[in-house]
Structure 1
Amino acid sequence: MSESNQISADLDKRIDLDKVLQQVRVFAPATVANMICGFDILGFAVEAPGDEVTMRRVAQPGVRIVSIKGDDGRLPLDAAQNTVSACALQILSDLGLTEEFGVEIELVKHMPIGSGLGSSSASTVAGVFAINALLGSPLSKDELLPYCIAGEKLACGHGHADNVAPALMGGITLIRSYDPLDIISLPVPEGLCAGIVFPHVDVPTRDARQLIKERVLLKDAVVQWGNVAGLIAGLYRNDFELIGRSMQDVLIEPVRSILIPQFAEMKQIALENGALSFGISGSGPSVVAITRDQDQAATITRKIQEHLNQLEIDCNTYVSNVNQQGPRILD
């Protein structure tokens, strides 16, 4: 966590420990990274699924994880190794509160690990938002984002923001630059919806990333640049036709889709049933149909689920508008 943003406890951010909350429960959403054509630079948040973090202040200084549910025992209880607690530790350290503030954490995973839906980022964002809320929200979302990126690096080995930025900020986000960090919120056309299918197959993020070519043909790069620009223009113009024809991936999808059984067949089902576009969510195996409304997304996810079940492939399905709030306090 040494690369997280170092924020000093300056005079404007003194915290009155007599006025902090005693407990807070926070939900943070899943995300669809890349938005098909925007590898590592675009992403949006959904309403469900997501993760919950409960934090409570205790007398003993330090940060401890007391329980994790829904992870099948896969996540570490060690406070320095779990993204939720590690980020909280760093924030307390940067605010000068390590020796006087104690926190206990309960994490509830409501989303599958390794799904391509930003599982680690949902937990990280929930934890960062929770510790900030517990302290009376002394830091802005912009100030919290570097901690989330550092948590993502701890979890995945790469400090990418295409999941954590939309999970924290809500809506659709563009990562224009990492140095300096420059995150741009994009408009969300009314009705824009995602139909998500998570087939129960294993596609590790590291394996999916290793398939990506380090060099691409200039002609393919030009096509991809045009698609990203067209997508952003479509969002600003509220032009669903432009959004649909722009959300095409000629660089990443052709290689990553090999790891996802029935990808071509699922894509055909989605497009035949009116999807604006269809592609991989993050590194997969989850796939996403972008639609004009929830009814259309529900129809597509149901038909894809029926197709997969016929092949004895189990799956989870989610239908959601774009979540424009990001994390929220539940209690």
Structure 2
Amino acid sequence: MNEIKIFCPATIANLSCGFDVLGLCLDNVGDEMIIKKSALKGVRITKIVGANLPLETEKNVAGVAALALLKALNSDAGFEIEIYKKIQAGSGIGSSAASSAGAVFGINELLGRPFATKDLVPFAMQGEKLACGNAHADNVAPALLGGFTLVRSYAPLDIIQIESPSELYATVVHPQIELKTADARSVLKQNVSLQKAIIQWGNLGGLIAGLYTKDYHLIGRSLHDEIVEPLRSVLIPGFDVIKQTALENGALGSGISGSGPSIFALSKGKTTAYKIAKAMSEVYDQMQLPYEMHVSRVNPDGVRIIEN
């Protein structure tokens, strides 16, 4: 196999109570990549469609992630990467993670799978480090592995895959403003009170328990962020109204997707998910704020091959 075309999914990270440790994979929102073997050693980004991003390998998250993988293998193989961006940068649904995850997945396939998929996460994290200065895994892990992922530890890296309840759907609205991850991180406090931490621990444990037991009501009760959302929500136009609208229309819970500005809602069933999407749309229509809307089940597989 000398060439591969892949779908690189968008993701929702944090999920209210799981800052930097929890994420889920979306099913019908994502980028595409074509990766080809090359006679020239190293990695080259030859085409980017849909976004104004650097072609220089060391300045592109896909390039940096790919180089990290080849360095670990001490490989002199060569690859060319074409990126077709459909996830906007700064949208809060894992644009950089999709590129990073896609690059390492595709090259690993073309090399005959020297790494298990879970072992690709550290290489993809190097792309995230380039994007925002922090090598976090809460987007790249679900993008690669699918479903929900919990980063139990970063040192050493310990990632737990969690199967999604079958009727769980996500609705995501992206107001058309860009909010850089680095800027969204700059508003966060480095210390939190013990009282807030206790509430957050309880909600994270409750959400994990709800996913394993498929208890939708427990999932909903646990989708509460005591620490990050109060600080970041002021950066997102209409956040409080959108969240309240989602809850009034049947959402189990709602919050900021990643670092924002996208806002997610989880619900039981496709019908409710689309009802929430309609209600969210009406809010931003009244505000005359352009937006994109996505409704998706949880993708159980992560990055997938389209053609080879």
Give the letter aligned to residue 299 of structure 2: N
Task: Report the counterpart of residue 65 of structure 1 in structure 2.
Answer: 45
Does structure 1 residue 81 correspond to structure 2 residue 59? yes
Alignment of 1:1-331 (within 5 A): 21-71=1-51, 73=52, 75-98=53-76, 101-331=77-307
Moved more, 28-37 or 202-211: 202-211
2:282 aligns to what SS in structure 1?
A: helix
Give the Cα separation in 2 of the matches to 1:237 and 1:142. 24
Give the letter aligned to residue 42 of structure 2: G
Give the letter aligned to residue 48 of structure 1: N
Q: Deviations over 1:171-204 (max 9, x none)?
A: 1011110111100112311111100000112322
Moved more, 51-60 or 242-251: 51-60
- Which residues of structure 1 form unaligned runs of 5+? 1-20
Q: Tell me: CA distance 1:243–1:55, structure 2 relative to 1, closer, same or farther (3 Å).
A: same
Give the Cα separation in 2 of the matches to 1:38 and 1:97. 36
Give the Cα separation in 1 of the matches to 2:16 and 2:60. 29
RMSD over aligned Cα atoms: 1.1
Give the letter aligned to residue 36 of structure 1: S
Give the Cα separation in 2 of the matches to 1:180 and 1:44. 21
Query: Identity over aligned residues, as a percent?
Result: 49
Query: Does the 8 Å contact 2:45/2:56 carry over to 1?
Result: yes
Give the Cα separation in 2 of the matches to 1:96 and 1:41. 30
Query: Does the 8 Å contact 2:101/2:143 carry over to 1?
Result: yes
Give the letter aligned to residue 326 of structure 1: G
Normalised by the size of structure 2, how large is the TM-score? Answer: 0.97
Query: Does the 8 Å contact 2:249/2:279 carry over to 1?
Result: no
- Displacement of 1:279 in angstroms is 0.5
- Displacement of 1:27 in angstroms is 1.1
Give the Cα separation in 2 of the matches to 1:310 and 1:233. 38
Give the Cα separation in 2 of the matches to 1:131 and 1:124. 11
- Displacement of 1:130 in angstroms is 0.6
- Displacement of 1:220 in angstroms is 1.2
Q: Deviations over 1:194-215 (max 9, x none)?
A: 0000011232211211111111
2:59 aligns to what SS in structure 1?
A: coil
Give the Cα separation in 2 of the matches to 1:95 and 1:207. 35
* Structure 1 stretches of at least 4 aligned residues deviating more than 4 Å after TM superposition: none
1:68 aligns to what SS in structure 2?
A: strand
- Displacement of 1:326 in angstroms is 0.3
Larger Rg: 1
Q: Deviations over 1:115-157 (max 9, x none)?
A: 0001000011011101011112121112211101112112221
- Which residues of structure 2 form unaligned runs of 5+? none
Q: Number of aligned pairs? A: 307
Q: Deviations over 1:90-136 (max 9, x none)?
A: 322332322xx221111110111100001000011011101011112
Give the Cα separation in 2 of the matches to 1:247 and 1:195. 14
Give the Cα separation in 2 of the matches to 1:210 and 1:85. 26
Give the letter aligned to residue 30 of structure 1: A
1:80 aligns to what SS in structure 2?
A: helix
- Displacement of 1:25 in angstroms is 0.8
Moved more, 197-206 or 250-259: 197-206
Give the Cα separation in 1 of the matches to 2:72 and 2:252. 45
Task: Report the counterpart of residue 4 of structure 1 in structure 2.
Answer: none
Moved more, 76-85 or 269-278: 76-85
Give the Cα separation in 2 of the matches to 1:148 and 1:164. 6
- Displacement of 1:268 in angstroms is 1.3
Give the letter aligned to residue 315 of structure 1: Y
Give the letter aligned to residue 120 of structure 1: S
Normalised by the size of structure 1, how large is the TM-score? Answer: 0.90
